[in-house]
């Protein structure tokens, strides 16, 4: 069977699976689809909500993407995001105003980087796989921050595991704030960041070297590149961006930290990076698509369609993307 036919078949199977799942839940697939689109793109409010979901997905997607280019599968963005958010909230609560905001961002970046460092070091110098170490670090991050927010940094006036709110003066600025339209400046940073990363990977010698390590570490070593150092640096930078995303989530949207802070942005970011078509700029539409599904998924619940259907759709998309992606050209030795 030709490869494209396999992919087509896969796509058809996937769509069939989604429709079957919707029908099984007792709804009309067309209603569900239109409901999802209306709920995510139909009104200014809906679009603002979609963009709000897009922002952390894009930032975390950049973090995953950078590591991926160095050949690292950073599953740990979820944990880096969480510790970044937690550290930022602590700083921003103590220090109101723009200073608190800036220092909060720095704290988030530093904690994210610190959280990624062991995984990078172990991979480079001890050969321990980053997927395992980052999953463990995710668990530590999750439980540690829950412990903190249950005690030391808990808002005593609240029942739940949450901190106080940060001061309004520390909120991250918005680029649009008129009536139903609200767009955080963080989205702009994410878009510019993705473009800048793409440019850096292509035009900077260091970007070239990082990609060489990701594509073939042995050839990179022969080309004089210190692959181990680059692996550590890429992991730490990826963690720093993940921590930055967490800090932004506090400063721009949530304004506080609480237990189980991330609804899985770090994990969805893996999908964002995989769907980007291995182009940094491709992260932008990819994150937007994930944003639509996240927002639209909530909207279709009124039709009685479970929110989880969006996860099924994402799963199908990722499997198809992976099939297309690995349909790589291979020469025959002649």
Partner 1 sequence: MTGISKRFGEVQALDSVDLSVESGTLHALVGENGAGKSTLMKVLYGALQPDSGEVQVEGQRVDIKSSAQAIALGIGMVSQHYGIIPELSCLQNLILGAEGGPVIQLAAARDRAQELAAKMGFSFDWDSDAADLTPAGAQKLEILKLLWRNSRIMILDEPTAMLSPLDGEALFASLRQLVDGGSTVILVTHRLPEVFDYCQEVTVLRGGKLVATKSVTSTNPAELAELIIGKRLEPAESHAETPGDVIFEASELSVKGYRGDLALKSINLKIRSGEVVGIAGVDGSGQRELLHAIAGTVGFVGGSAKLFGRDLTEISAQQRLDAGLRIIPEDRLGEGVIEEWSLVENCALGLQRQFPFSRSGIVLEGDRRTAAGVIADRFQTKRGSLDEPIASLSGGNQQRFVAGRALFGKPRLILAFQPARGLDLAATREVYEAIREKCREGAAALVVSYDLDELLDYCDRIVVLNRGVLSEPGAGNERNPEVIGRLMVGAE
Report if residue 175 touches partner 1, rule: CB under 8 A. Answer: no
Report if residue 329 touches partner 1, rule: CB under 8 A. Answer: yes
Q: What does the alpha-carbon distance between residue 17 and residue 23 come to, in Å, rounded to a whole number? A: 10
C-alpha dist (Å) from residue 260 to 86, 112, 136, 138 = 11, 17, 16, 12
Q: What does the alpha-carbon distance between residue 91 and residue 249 come to, in Å, rounded to a whole number? A: 14
Report if residue 126 touches partner 1, rule: CB under 8 A. Answer: no
Report if residue 127 touches partner 1, rule: CB under 8 A. Answer: no
The piece of 49-57, 84-92, 151-159, 211-219 that touches partner 1 (CB under 8 A) is 211-219
Report if residue 302 touches partner 1, rule: CB under 8 A. Answer: no
Q: What does the alpha-carbon distance between residue 127 and residue 217 come to, in Å, rounded to a whole number? A: 13
Q: What's the CA angle centered on 71, arms 66 and 73, to 5 degrees?
A: 75
Q: How far is the CB of 207 from partner 1 (least distance, A)?
A: 8
Report if residue 3 touches partner 1, rule: CB under 8 A. Answer: no
Report if residue 204 touches partner 1, rule: CB under 8 A. Answer: yes
Q: What does the alpha-carbon distance between residue 307 and residue 294 come to, in Å, rounded to a whole number? A: 9
Report if residue 334 touches partner 1, rule: CB under 8 A. Answer: yes
Report if residue 226 touches partner 1, rule: CB under 8 A. Answer: yes
C-alpha dist (Å) from residue 306 to 18, 97, 115, 267 = 12, 41, 35, 20
Nearest of 130, 32, 127 to residue 75 by alpha carbon: 130
Of 73, 181, 208, 267, the one binding partner 1 (CB under 8 A) is 208
Q: What does the alpha-carbon distance between residue 37 and residue 199 come to, in Å, rounded to a whole number? A: 33
Report if residue 221 touches partner 1, rule: CB under 8 A. Answer: yes
Report if residue 206 touches partner 1, rule: CB under 8 A. Answer: yes
The residues pairing with 40 across neighbouring beta strands, listed in sequence order, are none
The piece of 93-101, 108-116, 147-155, 202-210 that touches partner 1 (CB under 8 A) is 202-210
Contact residues for partner 1, defined by CB under 8 A: 202-206, 208-209, 212, 215-216, 218-219, 221-226, 328-331, 333-334
């Amino acid at each position: 069977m030709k490869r494209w036919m396999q992919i087509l078949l896969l796509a058809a199977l996937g769509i069939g699976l989604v429709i079957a799942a919707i029908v099984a839940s007792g709804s009309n697939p067309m209603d569900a689809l239109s409901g999802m689109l209306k709920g995510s793109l139909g009104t200014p409010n809906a679009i603002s909500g979609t963009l709000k979901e897009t922002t952390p997905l894009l930032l975390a997607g950049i973090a995953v993407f950078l590591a991926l280019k160095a050949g690292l599968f950073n599953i740990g963005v979820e944990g880096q995001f969480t510790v970044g958010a937690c550290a930022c909230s602590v700083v921003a609560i103590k220090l109101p105003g723009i200073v608190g905001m800036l220092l909060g961002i720095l704290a988030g970046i530093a904690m994210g980087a610190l959280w990624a460092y062991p995984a990078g070091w172990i991979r480079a110098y001890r050969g321990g796989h980053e997927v395992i170490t980052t999953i463990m670090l995710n668990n530590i991050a999750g439980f540690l921050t829950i412990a903190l927010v249950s005690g030391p940094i808990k808002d005593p006036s609240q029942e739940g595991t949450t901190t106080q709110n940060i001061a309004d003066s520390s909120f991250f600025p918005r680029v649009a704030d008129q009536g139903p339209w609200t767009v955080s400046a963080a989205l702009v940073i994410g878009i510019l960041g993705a473009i800048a990363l793409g440019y850096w990977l292509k035009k900077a010698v260091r970007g070239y070297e990082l990609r060489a390590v990701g594509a073939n570490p042995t050839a990179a070593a022969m080309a004089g590149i210190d692959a181990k150092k680059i692996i550590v640096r890429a992991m730490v930078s990826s963690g720093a961006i993940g921590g930055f995303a967490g800090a932004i989530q506090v400063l721009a949207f949530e304004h506080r930290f609480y237990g189980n802070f991330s609804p899985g942005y770090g994990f969805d970011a893996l999908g964002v990076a995989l769907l980007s078509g291995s182009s940094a700029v491709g992260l932008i539409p990819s994150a937007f698509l994930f944003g639509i599904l996240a927002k639209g998924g909530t909207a279709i619940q009124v039709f009685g369609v479970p929110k989880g259907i969006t996860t099924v759709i994402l799963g199908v998309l990722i499997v198809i993307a992976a099939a297309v992606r690995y349909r790589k050209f291979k020469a025959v030795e002649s």
